Structure 1
Amino acid sequence: MRKCILHIGMHKTGSSTIQDYLQTHRTQLGEGVVYADLGPANHSGAFQYAFLDNPHGQGMIARKNFSKEKVDKLVESFKSKIISALEADYNTLIFSGEGILNLSESNLFTLKKLISLYVDEIIVVAYVRPVISYMTSAFQQMLKTHSAELSPAIYPKYKQRFLKFESVFFGQVEYRLFDSASLNDGDVLSDFCKRFDLPFLKSEPSNRSLSSLAIKFLYHVQKIRLAERSSLINVELIEASLAGVGSDKFVIPETIADKALLDMSEDILWMSQRVVCPEKISYKDTAMVTNDVSLNIISEDDRAELLRLSYNKRFNNYVIRITGLSIEQVVDKCFSVR
């Protein structure tokens, strides 16, 4: 009996860590277990090229500004790679891409029809992050590439993401709560490996979290930036440069958290009916501050720590290039010291 595991994220639930692990250890996953070789470890792009109705004008693909001819070639290439993976010799085939969530219900019917030609069982698995935890992570990840605000735009929108999967796969979507107390050993990779009987070898997380102070600084840098969104190389520079700044965890202001929980009450109820420990979907961190202008306030020690970033010439030059200001000028322009 052949089966296909379709891991669809959701975003901000350690998907990159799972994908990098499966790609790196593809020869160590066990007899008959294959992680599909579609090129990149993250299969999001492959599935979007292969199954979107009009990939030329869709989000991530449109931003690349490829010619129609190049997009058409990529569509055919990724379709061919997915079919080759399905035709290969395996007992269990794994696909993983949070971008699969961007497919429409019609796209998903096409996807299911194709996969069903080759396997006897399809397991759709999604890790689900609580509302406030998701917003906190999504906000800081967005800040690494462009300006972002704490607004309804970063709500998780569970029903919009997952209902179409339930329609296409007849409700057979396995939801796993992305919460340290719920995950095996508090780790999403360990949890994924245990669920699907894969060997677990320790691995470093693929995305780095930044402190509250680092997020405050980055928020203002991105807000006054002059250039286009950051490239992957610059994101790596941002992460490396700000990794050692500050120690307190970033949490979103309490008033914004409360508004999100109120606005999303119906969506939260829908998701809560599908996970263990449903109360955790609306969990609110007790460390939240109540002052909405907290992004603009730092201490004297915080200011000194941010100014030390100026010694990182590469990062300082990057800040100057995208804002027209040095790190010291950004700090003096954007923060009140209390």
Structure 2
Amino acid sequence: MATFKTVILHIGINKTGSTSIQDALSGNAETLLAEAGIQYAGNFANHSVPLYTMFSEHALSYHANVRRGVTSGERLRALRAELFDSYEAILAEPKAGTLLLSGEDLSLLSEAAVSRLKVWLTPKASEVKVIAYLRHPRSWSSSEAAQRIKGGVTLEELEASPPHPWFRRRLEPWLSSFGRDRVAVFDYGAACRHPGGLVGHFSDLIGAGPALRGSLAAQTATNIRLSEEAVLLMSRLNAIRPLFTESGLMSPRRHLRERKVLAEVHGAPFSLSSQALDRVEAESRDDLEWVRDTFGVKLEAEPEPPQPERPIRITEEALESIAILISDLILMQKRRPPPSGFRRRIRRFRRWVNQRLMPRLALFRPRTKEAPRPRTERRSRPASTA
């Protein structure tokens, strides 16, 4: 017997405001449950990692699992068992008629993985709805490129091979498993023009009331677009000091705080070159037509910033030195080495405290009072002499 009347799966795609939606939903989970009768599942704001790990055949090579050391079949099986137990417990004791799951990496699941997800969900829900936001390939590609540079890729690599959203490849597995009537697709650019913004648009889709829609929209964080200068610095740093080691672990010579610091570098908004974006759009033409024919959605390109001059005006040597300087300063703040002789002086100080100071302090400790002697044992006063 189904435990939920409806399960809503928000599958992204990435770079379409999924994090803003997830932060708003998880931050207002109690309000969502009380006012709209929708349960936002589990303790995760983003369900990408648990659900991708549970159902994908590529879970061992999944970036999140590699970084937390899940690199063997045995560890993966143990993690999957733990995750399945956690979600089975949620599904066994529903708190509302609708369950909501959100994870942009769900759009990366293969047809076999989506089929496994459907088999798992079907006995637990009377109806499953799938929601996806799509963004025009030109806008999506620049945003994804900036994200990949934050993840260690260089701008030169991305200009040579710019990222593509591949809409059909992402959505056909969901159409195959759930059917066209269960998959709803929306234009990200149009959704952002909703009076309540992207989160307000999503709130209307899931059937939240006006009060909840306002509280959700208030939670939306502004997504600051990286400047051209910030991206160039990150890219140069990635080239001369790679973010990750060959084993996939983060390099000890880098720190994640670099992203926040470099994101504060102001300048013109970043965009891939017009040549790279023209190539992405040309190679995505069939995808755009497929989205229009299948879902009746015509994706609109967002306004692009003016193209910056390349090569940049400062020399490559100066750019490298600035990037290294920023990285070194951050590492010094986080892992400042003790001054020369510091540990030796600490050992001397501890020895002096234990051998000299503590024995002297013991002389000044208050002595415990002795119990009063019985009256018979008390000495009598000596008799006074006349």
Instruction: Give the TM bin, normalised by the shorter chain.
Output: 0.7 to 0.9
- Find the counterpart in structure 2 of residue 104 from structure 1: 110
Contact 1:13 1:178 in 2 (8 A): yes
Of 53, 57, 78, the residue aligned with 1:53 is 57
Deviations 1:121-176 (A, max 9, x none): 11100011110111111111111121232344511111111111111111121111
Matched, 1:238 2:243: no
Of 174, 180, 200, the residue aligned with 2:184 is 174
| TM-score normalised over the length of structure 1 | 0.80
Alignment of 1:98-177 (within 5 A): 98-148=104-154, 149-152=158-161, 154-171=163-180, 172-177=182-187
Contact 2:162 2:276 in 1 (8 A): no
- Find the counterpart in structure 2 of residue 254 from structure 1: 274
SS at match of 2:159: coil
Alignment of 1:178-327 (within 5 A): 178-179=188-189, 183-185=193-195, 187-198=197-208, 199-200=212-213, 201=215, 202-205=218-221, 208-228=224-244, 236-274=256-294, 278-280=298-300, 283=301, 285-289=303-307, 294=310, 296-298=311-313, 314-315=329-330
Larger radius of gyration: 2
Percent identical? 22
- Give the number of equivalent residue pairs: 309
- Find the counterpart in structure 2 of residue 36 from structure 1: 41
Contact 1:13 1:188 in 2 (8 A): no
Deviates more, 1:74-83 or 1:180-189: 180-189
Contact 1:5 1:122 in 2 (8 A): yes
Contact 1:86 1:115 in 2 (8 A): no
Q: CA RMSD in A?
A: 3.2
Deviates more, 1:175-184 or 1:242-251: 175-184
Contact 1:5 1:92 in 2 (8 A): yes
The residue type equivalent to 2:135 in the other structure is R
- Find the counterpart in structure 2 of residue 26 from structure 1: 29
1 CA distance for matches of 2:102 and 2:58?
Answer: 22
Deviations 1:198-244 (A, max 9, x none): 31321243854211111122121112224516859967513321233
1 CA distance for matches of 2:184 and 2:207?
Answer: 16
The residue type equivalent to 1:48 in the other structure is Y
| TM-score normalised over the length of structure 2 | 0.71
- Find the counterpart in structure 2 of residue 321 from structure 1: none
Contact 1:212 1:247 in 2 (8 A): yes
2 CA distance for matches of 1:150 and 1:235?
Answer: 25
Structure 1 pair 59/19, CA: closer, same or farther in 2 (3 Å)? Answer: same
2 CA distance for matches of 1:12 and 1:290?
Answer: 23
Structure 1 pair 264/54, CA: closer, same or farther in 2 (3 Å)? Answer: closer
Structure 1 pair 99/277, CA: closer, same or farther in 2 (3 Å)? Answer: closer
1 CA distance for matches of 2:81 and 2:108?
Answer: 19
Contact 2:191 2:201 in 1 (8 A): no
Tell me the CA shift for residue 88 of structure 1.
Answer: 2.2
Contact 1:210 1:243 in 2 (8 A): yes
